[in-house]
A and B are shown apart, each in its own frame.
Chain A
Amino acid sequence: MPKVLHLDMDSFFATVEQQSRPSLRGRSVGIAPVDSPGGTIVAASIEAKKFGVKTGTKVAEARELIPDIVILPPTPNKYRVVHRRFRSIMQEYRGICKPRSVDEIALWLEPSEWDRASEIGVDIKQRIRDEVGEWLSSSVGIGPNWLLAKTACSIRKPDGLLEITEGNRRDILAELDLTDLCGIAGRMAARMNLAGIRTPLDLHDMKPWELKHRLGIIGYYWHLRLNGYAIDTEDWATKTLGHSSVLPRPTASPEDLKPLLHKLCHRIARRLRQDSWLAQGLVISGSMADWGDRWVHSVKLNPTQRRDELFQTAWGLLKSRPPAAPLRKLAVTTYNLRPANPKQPSLLETDRRTHSALIGTDAVNDRWGEFTVIPAAMMGTEEVAGDAIAFGQDLRLQRETLDS
Protein backbone atom coordinates (compact mmCIF):
# COMPACT_ATOMS: atom_id res chain seq x y z
CA MET A 1 0.00 0.00 0.00
CA PRO A 2 1.30 3.54 -0.71
CA LYS A 3 2.53 5.51 2.28
CA VAL A 4 2.13 9.19 2.97
CA LEU A 5 3.87 10.73 5.97
CA HIS A 6 2.36 13.88 7.44
CA LEU A 7 4.38 15.94 9.90
CA ASP A 8 2.87 18.65 12.08
CA MET A 9 5.00 20.79 14.39
CA ASP A 10 3.36 20.96 17.82
CA SER A 11 2.12 24.44 18.85
CA PHE A 12 4.54 25.74 16.25
CA PHE A 13 4.76 29.52 16.79
CA ALA A 14 4.82 29.20 20.58
CA THR A 15 7.34 26.36 20.55
CA VAL A 16 9.70 28.32 18.29
CA GLU A 17 9.56 31.21 20.78
CA GLN A 18 10.31 28.77 23.60
CA GLN A 19 13.18 27.35 21.57
CA SER A 20 14.76 30.79 21.23
CA ARG A 21 14.09 31.73 24.88
CA PRO A 22 14.74 28.80 27.23
CA SER A 23 13.32 30.79 30.17
CA LEU A 24 9.86 30.37 28.58
CA ARG A 25 10.12 26.58 28.34
CA GLY A 26 7.55 24.84 30.46
CA ARG A 27 5.59 28.10 30.83
CA SER A 28 2.30 29.11 29.25
CA VAL A 29 2.91 31.24 26.18
CA GLY A 30 0.40 32.82 23.81
CA ILE A 31 1.22 34.46 20.49
CA ALA A 32 -1.01 37.45 19.76
CA PRO A 33 -0.45 40.19 17.14
CA VAL A 34 -1.97 42.74 19.56
CA ASP A 35 -1.37 42.47 23.32
CA SER A 36 -4.62 44.12 24.40
CA PRO A 37 -7.61 42.54 26.16
CA GLY A 38 -9.47 42.31 22.83
CA GLY A 39 -6.47 40.86 20.98
CA THR A 40 -6.70 37.30 19.72
CA ILE A 41 -4.29 34.45 20.46
CA VAL A 42 -3.15 32.95 17.17
CA ALA A 43 -1.07 30.18 18.78
CA ALA A 44 -0.78 28.76 22.28
CA SER A 45 2.01 26.68 23.79
CA ILE A 46 1.40 23.07 24.81
CA GLU A 47 1.36 24.22 28.48
CA ALA A 48 -1.27 26.92 27.78
CA LYS A 49 -3.47 24.47 25.87
CA LYS A 50 -3.73 22.32 29.00
CA PHE A 51 -5.57 25.23 30.69
CA GLY A 52 -7.96 25.70 27.78
CA VAL A 53 -6.20 28.49 25.88
CA LYS A 54 -6.34 27.85 22.14
CA THR A 55 -6.25 29.63 18.81
CA GLY A 56 -8.99 32.27 18.84
CA THR A 57 -9.01 32.81 22.63
CA LYS A 58 -9.04 36.50 23.56
CA VAL A 59 -6.00 37.81 25.45
CA ALA A 60 -8.20 38.90 28.38
CA GLU A 61 -9.79 35.44 28.56
CA ALA A 62 -6.34 33.80 28.42
CA ARG A 63 -5.16 35.99 31.33
CA GLU A 64 -8.20 34.97 33.33
CA LEU A 65 -7.40 31.30 32.74
CA ILE A 66 -3.65 31.70 33.28
CA PRO A 67 -2.72 34.96 35.07
CA ASP A 68 1.01 34.57 34.39
CA ILE A 69 0.71 33.65 30.70
CA VAL A 70 3.40 35.36 28.58
CA ILE A 71 1.94 37.08 25.51
CA LEU A 72 4.37 37.63 22.65
CA PRO A 73 3.96 39.16 19.19
CA PRO A 74 4.47 36.80 16.24
CA THR A 75 7.85 36.85 14.47
CA PRO A 76 7.05 35.47 11.00
CA ASN A 77 10.63 35.47 9.73
CA LYS A 78 11.72 33.19 12.55
CA TYR A 79 8.91 30.76 11.75
CA ARG A 80 9.83 30.72 8.05
CA VAL A 81 13.48 30.01 8.92
CA VAL A 82 12.52 27.07 11.15
CA HIS A 83 10.08 25.85 8.46
CA ARG A 84 12.88 25.86 5.86
CA ARG A 85 15.13 23.89 8.21
CA PHE A 86 12.71 21.08 8.96
CA ARG A 87 11.59 21.05 5.33
CA SER A 88 15.17 20.58 4.16
CA ILE A 89 15.47 17.58 6.53
CA MET A 90 12.31 16.05 5.05
CA GLN A 91 13.53 16.66 1.50
CA GLU A 92 16.46 14.36 2.16
CA TYR A 93 14.12 11.37 2.21
CA ARG A 94 12.98 9.66 -0.95
CA GLY A 95 9.58 10.95 -1.95
CA ILE A 96 7.64 14.04 -2.94
CA CYS A 97 7.53 16.72 -0.28
CA LYS A 98 4.78 19.32 -0.11
CA PRO A 99 4.24 21.96 2.60
CA ARG A 100 0.58 22.06 3.61
CA SER A 101 1.16 25.15 5.77
CA VAL A 102 4.03 26.78 7.61
CA ASP A 103 3.95 24.08 10.30
CA GLU A 104 2.83 21.04 8.30
CA ILE A 105 4.57 19.09 5.57
CA ALA A 106 3.43 15.96 3.77
CA LEU A 107 5.82 13.48 2.22
CA TRP A 108 4.60 10.99 -0.41
CA LEU A 109 7.16 8.23 0.07
CA GLU A 110 8.64 6.31 -2.84
CA PRO A 111 7.66 2.60 -2.98
CA SER A 112 11.14 1.52 -1.84
CA GLU A 113 10.51 3.39 1.45
CA TRP A 114 7.00 2.13 2.21
CA ASP A 115 8.20 -0.65 4.52
CA ARG A 116 10.21 1.70 6.69
CA ALA A 117 7.74 4.60 6.91
CA SER A 118 7.52 4.48 10.73
CA GLU A 119 11.30 4.31 11.03
CA ILE A 120 11.56 7.40 8.78
CA GLY A 121 8.99 9.19 10.94
CA VAL A 122 10.98 8.51 14.12
CA ASP A 123 14.17 9.59 12.36
CA ILE A 124 12.71 12.90 11.13
CA LYS A 125 11.31 13.76 14.57
CA GLN A 126 14.68 13.13 16.20
CA ARG A 127 16.64 15.03 13.54
CA ILE A 128 14.41 18.10 13.99
CA ARG A 129 15.29 18.07 17.71
CA ASP A 130 18.99 17.48 17.04
CA GLU A 131 19.51 19.78 14.07
CA VAL A 132 16.90 22.55 14.39
CA GLY A 133 16.16 22.87 18.10
CA GLU A 134 15.89 20.53 21.07
CA TRP A 135 12.56 22.03 22.20
CA LEU A 136 10.86 21.59 18.83
CA SER A 137 8.52 18.64 19.11
CA SER A 138 6.50 17.32 16.21
CA SER A 139 3.84 14.73 15.53
CA VAL A 140 3.85 12.32 12.61
CA GLY A 141 0.98 10.46 11.01
CA ILE A 142 1.35 7.79 8.37
CA GLY A 143 -1.37 6.45 6.13
CA PRO A 144 -2.13 5.12 2.66
CA ASN A 145 -3.34 8.59 1.58
CA TRP A 146 -2.87 12.13 2.84
CA LEU A 147 -6.21 12.35 4.64
CA LEU A 148 -5.54 9.26 6.75
CA ALA A 149 -1.95 10.39 7.41
CA LYS A 150 -3.20 13.79 8.64
CA THR A 151 -5.91 12.11 10.73
CA ALA A 152 -3.32 9.81 12.32
CA CYS A 153 -1.12 12.81 13.06
CA SER A 154 -3.87 14.73 14.85
CA ILE A 155 -4.74 11.74 17.10
CA ARG A 156 -1.31 11.48 18.76
CA LYS A 157 -0.48 15.10 19.53
CA PRO A 158 1.83 16.32 20.95
CA ASP A 159 5.06 14.45 20.16
CA GLY A 160 3.35 11.38 18.77
CA LEU A 161 3.62 8.96 15.88
CA LEU A 162 0.80 6.81 14.58
CA GLU A 163 0.43 4.75 11.45
CA ILE A 164 -3.00 3.89 10.11
CA THR A 165 -2.84 0.49 8.46
CA GLU A 166 -5.40 -1.85 7.03
CA GLY A 167 -5.28 -3.73 10.34
CA ASN A 168 -6.05 -0.83 12.72
CA ARG A 169 -8.06 1.49 10.42
CA ARG A 170 -11.53 0.48 11.62
CA ASP A 171 -10.55 0.63 15.31
CA ILE A 172 -9.10 4.12 14.90
CA LEU A 173 -12.04 5.48 12.91
CA ALA A 174 -14.43 4.09 15.52
CA GLU A 175 -12.95 6.47 18.10
CA LEU A 176 -13.45 9.61 15.98
CA ASP A 177 -16.26 12.07 15.29
CA LEU A 178 -17.05 13.22 11.77
CA THR A 179 -15.62 16.67 12.50
CA ASP A 180 -12.28 15.10 13.49
CA LEU A 181 -11.72 14.48 9.77
CA CYS A 182 -9.99 17.26 7.87
CA GLY A 183 -12.58 18.66 5.42
CA ILE A 184 -15.69 17.96 7.50
CA ALA A 185 -16.91 20.94 9.51
CA GLY A 186 -20.21 21.72 11.22
CA ARG A 187 -22.43 22.10 8.14
CA MET A 188 -21.15 19.03 6.32
CA ALA A 189 -21.42 16.99 9.51
CA ALA A 190 -25.04 18.16 9.94
CA ARG A 191 -25.78 17.17 6.34
CA MET A 192 -24.25 13.74 6.92
CA ASN A 193 -26.23 13.33 10.16
CA LEU A 194 -29.44 14.10 8.28
CA ALA A 195 -28.48 11.38 5.82
CA GLY A 196 -28.09 8.94 8.73
CA ILE A 197 -24.29 8.99 8.79
CA ARG A 198 -23.13 9.66 12.33
CA THR A 199 -19.50 8.50 12.51
CA PRO A 200 -16.47 8.09 10.23
CA LEU A 201 -17.02 4.35 10.58
CA ASP A 202 -20.41 4.73 8.85
CA LEU A 203 -18.63 6.36 5.91
CA HIS A 204 -16.04 3.58 5.95
CA ASP A 205 -18.39 0.64 6.20
CA MET A 206 -21.47 1.65 4.24
CA LYS A 207 -21.88 0.29 0.72
CA PRO A 208 -20.63 2.83 -1.85
CA TRP A 209 -23.90 2.83 -3.81
CA GLU A 210 -25.84 3.56 -0.64
CA LEU A 211 -23.57 6.46 0.30
CA LYS A 212 -23.94 7.83 -3.22
CA HIS A 213 -27.68 7.56 -2.87
CA ARG A 214 -27.72 9.32 0.53
CA LEU A 215 -25.04 11.99 0.05
CA GLY A 216 -24.32 12.13 -3.65
CA ILE A 217 -20.86 11.76 -5.11
CA ILE A 218 -19.29 13.39 -2.00
CA GLY A 219 -20.35 10.40 0.10
CA TYR A 220 -18.73 8.01 -2.35
CA TYR A 221 -15.47 10.03 -2.29
CA TRP A 222 -15.37 9.98 1.53
CA HIS A 223 -15.87 6.21 1.45
CA LEU A 224 -12.89 5.84 -0.88
CA ARG A 225 -10.66 8.14 1.19
CA LEU A 226 -11.39 6.36 4.45
CA ASN A 227 -10.74 3.00 2.79
CA GLY A 228 -7.26 4.17 1.86
CA TYR A 229 -7.65 5.17 -1.78
CA ALA A 230 -5.66 8.20 -2.96
CA ILE A 231 -8.36 10.00 -4.91
CA ASP A 232 -7.35 13.60 -4.23
CA THR A 233 -4.98 14.80 -6.91
CA GLU A 234 -2.45 17.33 -5.75
CA ASP A 235 -3.08 20.50 -7.73
CA TRP A 236 -0.16 22.93 -7.61
CA ALA A 237 -1.58 25.49 -10.00
CA THR A 238 -2.26 29.03 -8.78
CA LYS A 239 -5.94 29.82 -9.28
CA THR A 240 -6.42 32.80 -7.01
CA LEU A 241 -4.17 35.28 -5.32
CA GLY A 242 -5.24 37.29 -2.30
CA HIS A 243 -4.42 38.78 1.06
CA SER A 244 -6.38 39.27 4.25
CA SER A 245 -5.85 40.93 7.60
CA VAL A 246 -7.55 40.94 10.98
CA LEU A 247 -8.59 44.45 12.05
CA PRO A 248 -7.33 45.79 15.40
CA ARG A 249 -10.94 46.78 16.20
CA PRO A 250 -14.14 45.86 14.33
CA THR A 251 -15.47 48.53 11.98
CA ALA A 252 -17.99 48.88 9.16
CA SER A 253 -16.86 52.32 8.05
CA PRO A 254 -15.38 52.39 4.51
CA GLU A 255 -13.11 55.30 5.52
CA ASP A 256 -11.66 53.26 8.42
CA LEU A 257 -11.15 50.26 6.15
CA LYS A 258 -9.52 52.34 3.39
CA PRO A 259 -5.87 52.23 4.61
CA LEU A 260 -6.00 48.45 5.00
CA LEU A 261 -7.64 48.10 1.58
CA HIS A 262 -4.77 50.10 0.07
CA LYS A 263 -2.24 47.79 1.65
CA LEU A 264 -3.98 44.56 0.65
CA CYS A 265 -4.25 45.75 -2.97
CA HIS A 266 -0.59 46.81 -2.93
CA ARG A 267 0.50 43.34 -1.75
CA ILE A 268 -1.64 41.55 -4.32
CA ALA A 269 -0.41 43.75 -7.18
CA ARG A 270 3.20 43.10 -6.14
CA ARG A 271 2.66 39.35 -6.19
CA LEU A 272 0.79 39.49 -9.51
CA ARG A 273 3.79 41.26 -11.03
CA GLN A 274 6.35 38.98 -9.32
CA ASP A 275 4.61 35.88 -10.64
CA SER A 276 3.60 37.44 -14.00
CA TRP A 277 -0.16 37.13 -13.66
CA LEU A 278 -2.96 39.37 -14.80
CA ALA A 279 -6.09 39.29 -12.64
CA GLN A 280 -9.45 39.24 -14.39
CA GLY A 281 -11.69 39.20 -11.32
CA LEU A 282 -11.72 40.56 -7.78
CA VAL A 283 -13.54 39.53 -4.61
CA ILE A 284 -13.73 41.72 -1.53
CA SER A 285 -14.93 39.97 1.58
CA GLY A 286 -15.03 40.30 5.32
CA SER A 287 -15.91 38.36 8.45
CA MET A 288 -18.35 39.96 10.84
CA ALA A 289 -17.20 40.74 14.37
CA ASP A 290 -18.86 37.62 15.78
CA TRP A 291 -17.15 35.46 13.11
CA GLY A 292 -20.66 34.49 11.96
CA ASP A 293 -21.83 35.84 8.59
CA ARG A 294 -19.52 36.85 5.81
CA TRP A 295 -19.77 39.95 3.63
CA VAL A 296 -18.76 39.16 0.03
CA HIS A 297 -18.87 41.04 -3.28
CA SER A 298 -17.12 40.26 -6.54
CA VAL A 299 -16.61 41.92 -9.90
CA LYS A 300 -14.89 41.17 -13.20
CA LEU A 301 -11.80 43.19 -14.07
CA ASN A 302 -10.04 44.25 -17.21
CA PRO A 303 -6.82 42.20 -17.01
CA THR A 304 -4.53 44.04 -14.59
CA GLN A 305 -1.61 43.75 -12.19
CA ARG A 306 -1.79 47.37 -11.00
CA ARG A 307 -2.47 48.39 -7.42
CA ASP A 308 -4.42 51.54 -8.33
CA GLU A 309 -6.81 49.62 -10.58
CA LEU A 310 -7.38 46.90 -7.98
CA PHE A 311 -7.90 49.54 -5.30
CA GLN A 312 -10.35 51.64 -7.33
CA THR A 313 -12.46 48.55 -8.04
CA ALA A 314 -12.37 47.30 -4.45
CA TRP A 315 -13.03 50.79 -3.07
CA GLY A 316 -15.99 51.20 -5.44
CA LEU A 317 -17.49 47.96 -4.12
CA LEU A 318 -16.84 48.89 -0.51
CA LYS A 319 -18.41 52.34 -0.86
CA SER A 320 -21.44 51.26 -2.85
CA ARG A 321 -22.17 48.14 -0.79
CA PRO A 322 -20.70 48.72 2.69
CA PRO A 323 -20.94 45.91 5.25
CA ALA A 324 -24.09 45.95 7.35
CA ALA A 325 -22.20 45.14 10.57
CA PRO A 326 -18.64 45.80 11.80
CA LEU A 327 -15.99 43.60 10.21
CA ARG A 328 -13.32 41.73 12.16
CA LYS A 329 -11.34 40.69 9.08
CA LEU A 330 -10.99 42.12 5.57
CA ALA A 331 -9.82 40.14 2.53
CA VAL A 332 -9.20 40.93 -1.13
CA THR A 333 -8.73 38.07 -3.57
CA THR A 334 -8.09 38.15 -7.30
CA TYR A 335 -9.22 35.27 -9.49
CA ASN A 336 -9.40 34.14 -13.09
CA LEU A 337 -5.66 34.72 -13.43
CA ARG A 338 -3.99 34.60 -16.80
CA PRO A 339 -0.27 34.75 -17.60
CA ALA A 340 1.00 38.24 -18.40
CA ASN A 341 2.88 38.59 -21.66
CA PRO A 342 5.87 40.84 -21.01
CA LYS A 343 6.75 40.90 -24.70
CA GLN A 344 3.61 42.79 -25.65
CA PRO A 345 3.77 46.33 -24.26
CA SER A 346 0.72 48.55 -24.23
CA LEU A 347 0.09 50.81 -27.22
CA LEU A 348 -0.53 53.71 -24.85
CA GLU A 349 2.48 55.78 -23.83
CA THR A 350 0.99 56.53 -20.36
CA ASP A 351 0.52 52.81 -19.64
CA ARG A 352 4.09 52.05 -20.68
CA ARG A 353 5.42 54.80 -18.41
CA THR A 354 3.33 53.62 -15.47
CA HIS A 355 4.55 50.07 -16.02
CA SER A 356 8.20 51.22 -16.04
CA ALA A 357 7.64 53.17 -12.82
CA LEU A 358 6.10 50.08 -11.18
CA ILE A 359 9.02 47.88 -12.22
CA GLY A 360 11.38 50.50 -10.77
CA THR A 361 9.56 50.76 -7.44
CA ASP A 362 9.31 46.96 -7.23
CA ALA A 363 13.09 46.73 -7.62
CA VAL A 364 13.59 49.27 -4.79
CA ASN A 365 11.14 47.43 -2.52
CA ASP A 366 12.76 44.07 -3.31
CA ARG A 367 16.13 45.40 -2.24
CA TRP A 368 15.26 47.71 0.64
CA GLY A 369 12.18 46.04 2.05
CA GLU A 370 8.43 46.18 1.43
CA PHE A 371 6.83 49.65 1.52
CA THR A 372 10.16 51.52 1.17
CA VAL A 373 8.61 53.33 -1.81
CA ILE A 374 4.83 53.71 -1.74
CA PRO A 375 2.35 55.66 -3.82
CA ALA A 376 1.29 59.00 -2.31
CA ALA A 377 -2.23 57.58 -1.92
CA MET A 378 -0.85 55.11 0.62
CA MET A 379 0.77 57.67 2.93
CA GLY A 380 -0.31 57.15 6.53
CA THR A 381 -0.90 53.43 6.10
CA GLU A 382 2.51 52.43 7.51
CA GLU A 383 1.14 51.08 10.78
CA VAL A 384 -1.61 49.03 9.16
CA ALA A 385 -1.21 45.25 8.64
CA GLY A 386 2.45 44.36 9.14
CA ASP A 387 4.18 41.18 8.02
CA ALA A 388 2.06 38.13 8.72
CA ILE A 389 2.32 34.46 8.10
CA ALA A 390 -0.41 32.41 6.46
CA PHE A 391 -2.11 29.73 8.52
CA GLY A 392 -3.20 27.81 5.46
CA GLN A 393 -1.23 26.86 2.40
CA ASP A 394 1.61 29.33 2.01
CA LEU A 395 2.25 29.70 -1.73
CA ARG A 396 5.63 31.31 -1.13
CA LEU A 397 6.85 28.29 0.84
CA GLN A 398 5.32 25.87 -1.68
CA ARG A 399 7.10 27.64 -4.55
CA GLU A 400 10.39 27.38 -2.66
CA THR A 401 9.85 23.63 -2.35
CA LEU A 402 9.20 23.31 -6.07
CA ASP A 403 12.28 25.38 -6.86
CA SER A 404 14.60 23.49 -4.51
Chain B
Amino acid sequence: MGPMTLADKVSVLAKFDDGKLVPIIMRWRGRRYWVQGVNLHHVENRGGDKIHYFAVSTEIGDATLSYSQDEMYWRLVETNFFE
Protein backbone atom coordinates (compact mmCIF):
# COMPACT_ATOMS: atom_id res chain seq x y z
CA MET B 1 0.00 0.00 0.00
CA GLY B 2 1.26 3.49 -0.83
CA PRO B 3 0.95 6.69 1.19
CA MET B 4 -2.53 8.11 1.92
CA THR B 5 -3.51 11.53 0.55
CA LEU B 6 -5.36 13.93 2.86
CA ALA B 7 -6.04 17.64 3.27
CA ASP B 8 -6.57 17.87 7.05
CA LYS B 9 -5.88 21.14 8.79
CA VAL B 10 -3.37 20.60 11.59
CA SER B 11 -1.75 22.64 14.34
CA VAL B 12 1.99 22.92 13.96
CA LEU B 13 4.66 24.34 16.20
CA ALA B 14 7.45 25.62 13.97
CA LYS B 15 10.59 27.70 14.19
CA PHE B 16 12.29 30.12 11.85
CA ASP B 17 15.87 28.98 11.73
CA ASP B 18 18.53 30.69 9.63
CA GLY B 19 15.94 31.98 7.14
CA LYS B 20 14.18 28.62 7.00
CA LEU B 21 10.79 27.59 8.31
CA VAL B 22 11.11 24.28 10.17
CA PRO B 23 8.12 22.34 11.62
CA ILE B 24 8.82 20.81 15.04
CA ILE B 25 5.58 19.36 16.43
CA MET B 26 2.31 18.54 14.66
CA ARG B 27 -1.03 17.97 16.38
CA TRP B 28 -3.43 15.83 14.37
CA ARG B 29 -6.65 14.14 15.48
CA GLY B 30 -5.85 14.90 19.11
CA ARG B 31 -2.36 13.42 19.07
CA ARG B 32 1.05 15.04 19.07
CA TYR B 33 3.77 13.98 16.66
CA TRP B 34 7.37 15.11 16.88
CA VAL B 35 9.01 15.98 13.58
CA GLN B 36 12.34 14.17 13.62
CA GLY B 37 13.62 15.56 10.34
CA VAL B 38 12.68 17.36 7.14
CA ASN B 39 13.56 15.10 4.21
CA LEU B 40 12.63 17.46 1.40
CA HIS B 41 11.19 20.96 1.20
CA HIS B 42 9.78 22.47 -1.95
CA VAL B 43 7.57 25.40 -2.81
CA GLU B 44 4.77 25.64 -5.35
CA ASN B 45 3.01 28.78 -6.54
CA ARG B 46 -0.76 28.72 -6.41
CA GLY B 47 -1.83 32.01 -7.93
CA GLY B 48 -0.39 34.70 -5.69
CA ASP B 49 0.01 32.22 -2.82
CA LYS B 50 3.10 30.17 -2.10
CA ILE B 51 2.57 26.68 -0.72
CA HIS B 52 5.52 25.18 1.15
CA TYR B 53 5.64 21.40 1.22
CA PHE B 54 7.64 19.65 3.95
CA ALA B 55 8.24 15.92 3.61
CA VAL B 56 8.94 14.96 7.23
CA SER B 57 9.70 11.94 9.37
CA THR B 58 7.87 11.47 12.67
CA GLU B 59 8.25 8.81 15.34
CA ILE B 60 5.56 6.65 13.69
CA GLY B 61 6.08 7.28 9.98
CA ASP B 62 6.42 9.72 7.11
CA ALA B 63 4.15 12.65 6.45
CA THR B 64 3.93 15.65 4.16
CA LEU B 65 2.86 18.96 5.64
CA SER B 66 1.89 21.97 3.57
CA TYR B 67 1.94 25.58 4.67
CA SER B 68 0.06 28.29 2.80
CA GLN B 69 1.91 31.58 3.06
CA ASP B 70 -1.23 33.63 2.29
CA GLU B 71 -3.76 31.75 4.41
CA MET B 72 -1.26 30.84 7.15
CA TYR B 73 -2.74 27.35 7.41
CA TRP B 74 -0.88 24.12 7.95
CA ARG B 75 -2.32 20.98 6.42
CA LEU B 76 -1.37 17.33 6.58
CA VAL B 77 -1.51 16.30 2.93
CA GLU B 78 0.02 12.84 2.99
CA THR B 79 0.89 10.16 5.50
CA ASN B 80 1.69 6.47 5.75
CA PHE B 81 0.66 6.29 9.43
CA PHE B 82 -1.94 3.61 8.71
CA GLU B 83 0.22 1.21 6.71
Chain B residues near A22 (CB, 8 Å)? 39, 57, 62
A23 touches B62 (CB 8 A): yes
Query: Given the interface contacts A72-B2, A77-B44, A368-B47, does A20 sit within 8 Å of B80 by beta carbon?
Result: no
Chain B residues near A71 (CB, 8 Å)? 2
8 Å CB interface, A274-310 against B: none
Query: Given the interface contacts A72-B2, A367-B48, A368-B47, does A23 sit within 8 Å of B80 by beta carbon?
Result: yes
How many Å from the CB of A403 to the closest CB on chain B? 18
B42 touches A77 (CB 8 A): yes
A20 touches B64 (CB 8 A): yes
How many Å from the CB of A56 to the closest CB on chain B? 21
A133 touches B80 (CB 8 A): no
8 Å CB interface, B35-82 against A: 39-40, 42-48, 53, 55, 57, 61-62, 64, 80
Chain A residues near B2 (CB, 8 Å)? 70-72
Q: How large is the interface on B (under 10, 10 to 19, 20 to 34, 35 or more residues)?
A: 20 to 34
Closest chain A residue to B78 by CB distance? A21
B40 touches A133 (CB 8 A): yes
Closest chain B residue to A135 by CB distance? B39
How many Å from the CB of B46 to the closest CB on chain A? 6
Chain A residues near B45 (CB, 8 Å)? 369
B46 touches A20 (CB 8 A): no
Q: How far is the CA of A24 from the CA of B64 in the complex (A)?
A: 14
Pick from B46, B53, B80: contact of A21, CB below 8 A: B80
Query: Given the interface contacts A70-B2, A72-B2, does A20 sit within 8 Å of B47 by beta carbon?
Result: no
Pick from A70, A72, A81, A133: contact of B39, CB below 8 A: A133
With A21-B62, A369-B46 given, name 18 new contacts (CB 8 A). Answer: A19-B39, A20-B40, A20-B55, A20-B64, A21-B3, A21-B55, A22-B39, A22-B57, A23-B61, A70-B2, A72-B3, A77-B44, A78-B53, A81-B43, A133-B40, A367-B47, A367-B48, A369-B47
Q: Could you give 26 example pairs across A and B, Cβ below 8 Å?
A: A16-B40, A20-B40, A20-B62, A20-B64, A21-B3, A21-B39, A21-B55, A21-B62, A21-B80, A22-B57, A22-B62, A23-B83, A70-B1, A70-B2, A77-B44, A78-B40, A78-B42, A81-B43, A133-B39, A133-B40, A367-B47, A368-B46, A368-B48, A369-B46, A369-B47, A372-B47
Which of B's residues lie within 8 Å of A, judged by CB? 1-3, 39-40, 42-48, 53, 55, 57, 61-62, 64, 80, 83
